[in-house]
Structure formats: C-alpha cells, structure tokens
Amino acid sequence: MTERTSVAIVGAGPAGLLLAHLLDIAGIDSIVIDQRSREEIETTIRAGILEQGTVEVLTDTGASDRVRTVGQRHDGIELRFDGEGHRIDFAATVGRGVWLYPQHEVLKDLIAARLAAGQDLRLGVTADSVEGVDTDRPRVIATGSDGERIEIEADVVVGADGSRSVVRRALGGSSSGHFREYPFAWFGVLCEAPPSSEELIYSSSPEGFALISQRSATVQRMYFQCDPEEDPERFSERQLWDILQARVPGTTLKEGHIFQRDVLRFRSFVAHELRRGRAVLVGDAAHTVPPTGAKGMNLAVADVVLLAEALRALVREKGERLLDAYPERALSRIWKAQHFSWWMTSMLHTSPEATDFDRRRQVGELRSVVESEHGRAYLAEAYTGWPLAR
C-alpha cells in the first residue's frame, strides 16, 4: 500500500524534526521516519552549543521554551595557550551569545512538540531506498519494525538521515562529496562533578588540545585530543583526569566519577549535490564538520530554515524557484562553517607531524586573534552564528 504526504522526511534528528515542525506551522503535512527508537534518539549524547539564531528559531516557533529556562546563556569562551587564558567576549564584541543546551534535550522538545500536534512520526522504520526523484512523485521505500514494506509517496523527499544517508545515494553515489580526514580525534568524557569553569575553555597545550565544557551543576563534559584509533577503555579514571589536568594548566579541575567515555572522529564533508529533482539533503546528510567550532547542529538548523521556506513556496504556490536556489543558498553558509570549523580545529590541535616551526606559528596565529579587536570579533561572529535567512 502506498501512503501519500506532502513531504517525506527520512531521519528524526534535529534537522528532520525541526523541518516537520516548521512545515506543520505552515499547514503542510509530512511524515517523519527513523530507524531508531525514541529512547535511543533522546539519550544519545551529542553536541551542546546552540547559536543565538538557533535558539530564536526554537523559541519563536514554540518548539522549545526549556532552551531558555534549562539552557544556560554563555557570553564568551576562553582560549588558553602558552600558559595564559584569553576571554573572547561575545556580548562586548558582537552583542550576541550562545546557549549551552544539549542536543538530546532539543530532540526531546521537538519530539514532544510533534506528538502534541498530532503529527506523523514513525520510529523503528528503516528507509531502504528512494525512487522516482526525477518525477514529481518521489517515493521512500522502507521497512517497518515488524518487517512490513512501507511506501511513502510525496511531493518532495528530504534526507535528514545523517552522515550515512540513504537518501544521498539517490542523488548519485554515497561517497560523492568533498572530504577531509584529520589525524586526531576527541576523547570525550561525562563525569559527575561540579563545573570547573563557568565558561568553556578551549586549551591548546604542548600535550595536545582539551575542551572543558559543562552540562549542569552536577554533570560535566570534557574532551581531550587523542589518536583516532584510541581504545576508550584503555585508561583508568585516574589516568583520564591526569591527562585532562595536564592540558589545562592554570585551572584545577574538579574531579568526579567518569560514567561515560567515547572517541569522536574528526571529518569535514560536503556532498557534491544537495538536490536532485525532488530529493533534497539537510544536516549531516549534506555535510559534516569537526566539533571544534560547535557548528554541526546549528548548520542543520540553518539548512532547515532555508528549505522550509522553499517547500512552502513549492507546496502552496507550486513555485520551484526557491527549491532551485536552495543548494546555492545553503552552500554559502556551509562553506563558511566548514572554514570556521577547520580553522578552530587546525589552530588549537597539535598535529602528530607538527614541527617546532608549526607549533610556534600556531601560537603566533592564536596571538593574532586574541590580541586583535577584529580577530576576536571574527571568532565571536562565527561562533555565535551568522544571521539566518528568516
């Protein structure tokens, strides 16, 4: 049996769920499918920083109030290198801020909003393929949790299904894109401890990079640079604290039980095609950034804001002009965010092949940023997010 909707969305991450929410506000129906369970979606630990524009989209559209009540506004970050801390004051330089509010909390809010509005969200449903993208009746072929075949026909199919996107294959080759790998990764820990710092500390030290982030009054998130092949179980808790502490000289870390650890690989990727006919990509299906600039989820939100506008024009006025313009408009921000993420990454991490020249040049680069009003302003502008097309 074939079901029909205006927009078939593959993937119930931030991109897919927010798109469904924005379409619903515009009176456009959609079906969202995802192979994961609600529990898995709501508990997987991901990024934590929301740009001001992301927060405005979530609150202005009624998707989340909790981001402002539970989330914490941060007006700056610290860059630490060569034994000294340098605060980048977002409020003073660009008059904007960011919010610390974990991605899985955003997902809880979006799922709750979607269910409260009685919209169609199907979890445990795996997309197998997308057909007919060159017609005006593209279809998603999927398998339900009991093994039944599901076929959803729509005006447009949206791939919001992450870096291993099934929808991307329908656009021409799953590996087709601009790609870069990095010779390091992040070792991430979650621990039961009070915050060691009020704001995030991005620290470049001779031992390698570390990031001191937070989650709440009792849970903290921290990362340190490691080998991409590192085994997360290799270290004792004592060793992890010693590694972290050595990389943030000047701050005494408040220690506590480490209850989760993971290794995050670093990749930069931009798909060659963001659209073919009636299939479109958003979020990680379209691009991946290394986590240093905290851009991943924010970039997904920016794609979705543009695409929602294009889909409103398509479904309501039967106009394809904005859909035609979507890739170029989205790519302009995507490449700026790619640059910023690469720049923050390369400026703060120690490459295994780095020479003494490279390390001294890196400190020179960091100094040129923190000692220049314009350098600080560029970092603040990019970190808090360029304006959204709203």
Give contact residues for ligand PHB (rule: CB under 6 A).
47-49, 200, 213, 221, 291-292, 294
Q: Tell me the closest approach of the beta carbon of residue 68 to ligand PHB, in angstroms.
A: 18
User: How crowded is residue 321: how many other Cβ atoms within 10 Å of its Cβ?
Assistant: 10
Pick the catalytic residue from 102, 295, 326, 327: 295
**Coarse DSSP helix, strand, coil percentages of the chain, rounded to the nearest 5 percent:** 40, 30, 35
Give all strands of the β-sheet with 72-74 in edge-to-edge order.
Answer: 49-51, 98-100, 72-74
Nearest distance, CB of residue 295 and ligand PHB, angstroms: 8
The least CB distance from residue 384 to ligand PHB, in Å, is 13
Q: For strand 279-281 and strand 156-159, is the pairing parallel, antiparallel, or unpaired?
A: parallel
Shortest separation between residue 40's beta carbon and ligand PHB, angstroms: 18
Report which of 25, 99, 22, 24 is spatially closest to residue 66, judged by C-alpha positions: 99
Q: Which is nearer to ligand PHB, 32 or 222 (CB)?
A: 222
In a 13 Å sphere around the CA of 345, the CA atoms on its Cβ side amount to: 25
Would you say 190 and 359 are in contact if contact means Cβ atoms under 8 Å apart? no
What is the number of the residue whose Cβ is closest to ligand PHB? 48
| Active-site annotation holder among 182, 202, 223, 326 | 202
Nearest to 290 by CA among 186, 177, 178, 145: 186
291 part of the active site: yes
Question: Would residue 74 show up in a list of annotated catalytic residues for this protein?
Answer: yes
**Residue environment code for 341-361, b if the CB has 16+ CB neighbours within 10 A, otherwise e:** bbbbbebbbbeeeeeeeeeee
Closer residue to ligand PHB (CB): 48 or 138:
48
Q: Is 326 a catalytic residue?
A: no
Query: Which C-beta is closer to ligand PHB: that of 154 or that of 294?
Result: 294
Signed CA dihedral, 230, 50, 160, 20: sign only: positive
What is the Cα–Cα distance from 304 to 282, expressed in whole angstroms? 7
Q: Minimum distance between the CB of residue 283 and ligand PHB, rounded to whole angstroms?
A: 16
Residue from 291, 326, 327, 349 carrying the catalytic annotation: 291
- Least distance to ligand PHB from the beta carbon of 297, Å? 10
Closest CA to 303 of 160, 167, 171: 160
CB of 341 to ligand PHB, least distance (A): 9
Compare residues 93 and 213 and give the one whose CB is closer to ligand PHB.
213
Of 97, 103, 102, 100, which is closest to residue 17 (Cα–Cα)? 103
| Known catalytic membership, residue 223 | no
Q: Which is closer to ligand PHB, CB of 200 or CB of 240?
A: 200
Q: CA–CA separation, 155 vs 139, rounded Å? A: 9
Tokens of 199: 């704001």
* Bridge partners for 87 per DSSP: 78
Tell me which of 14, 21, 74, 102 is the catalytic residue: 74
User: Is 202 a catalytic site residue?
Assistant: yes
254 close to 194: Cβ distance less than 8 angstroms: yes
Residue 54 or 292 having the CB closest to ligand PHB: 292
Which residues are identified as catalytic? 74, 202, 291, 295, 383
